[in-house]
Amino acid sequence: MDSSGPEQQELEMRLGHVFQRPELLEAALTHRSHSAETGRPELAESQRLEFLGDAVLGAVSAEWLVAHRSDWREGTLTKVRSRLTNAAALARVARKLELGDFLRLGRGEEQSGGRDKGALLADALEAVLGALWLDGGAGPVREVFATWFAAEIAEAVEAGGDDNPKGELQERMQRERKESPRYELVEESGPSHARHFKAAVFWGEDRMGEGEGASKREAEMNAARCALDGLDSRERP
């Protein structure tokens, strides 16, 4: 991407911000695979900007929730903020922005479909938010959040603090491991009027938990609860 070309102007229009330091946006959009191929380590700043953007998005989303949901307690606010800032939500927003079209990728990453990889898009959006913060402060980031995260905000607010173990596990896996859990029905038994189901949830080939219930959905929810309990127990000192 030419740091002063029409591509930058198009993305700036979508973001609602003209960069005073265009090199920040250039760095945010430069993947480390491109920096490695070109031998220009000075462009490999996207990861540092991701780090900043992650913190910035957490603060801006928390600010929005506190301002708009005065009836929610801290636990609910934390759950909803997690839904707004996990990798899956970031990838969806990045795709709406068509951010993949603006990325600077190495040839190998380009050929492997990097422009539509969820984890790569999520990281790139965080880097862009970090660049926005450094160039214009909180204002531009708030504008991007209100405009481009609108659908995510509406869905997360509607769900609120409802018990949703499958959603919580999905968010946690996307955030910590950049991958979604997979559910399998492992057993179905009982007469037609009283069926009984057993489901398991996997991360790759690793069986994370099992659950049972009177419906497939209930069994999957209980499997997700089991997986969450297992993750929590591993994290305790």
- Residue 88 and residue 118 in contact, taking contact as beta carbons nearer than 8 Å: yes
Q: At a CB cut-off of 8 Å and minimum separation 6, what does 42 contact?
A: none
Token representation of residue 216: 């497939």
**Alpha helix ranges (H) inside the chain:** 6-15, 22-28, 32-38, 46-68, 74-85, 87-97, 107-111, 118-136, 138-148, 150-159, 165-177, 216-235
- Active-site residues, by number, are 54, 126
Query: In what side-by-side order are the strands of the sheet with 182-189?
Result: 182-189, 196-203, 206-213
Give the CB-side neighbour count of residue 10, counting CA atoms within 13 A: 10
Tell me the one-letter amino acid at 113: G
Backbone torsions φ then ψ of 102, nearest 5 degrees: -100, -5
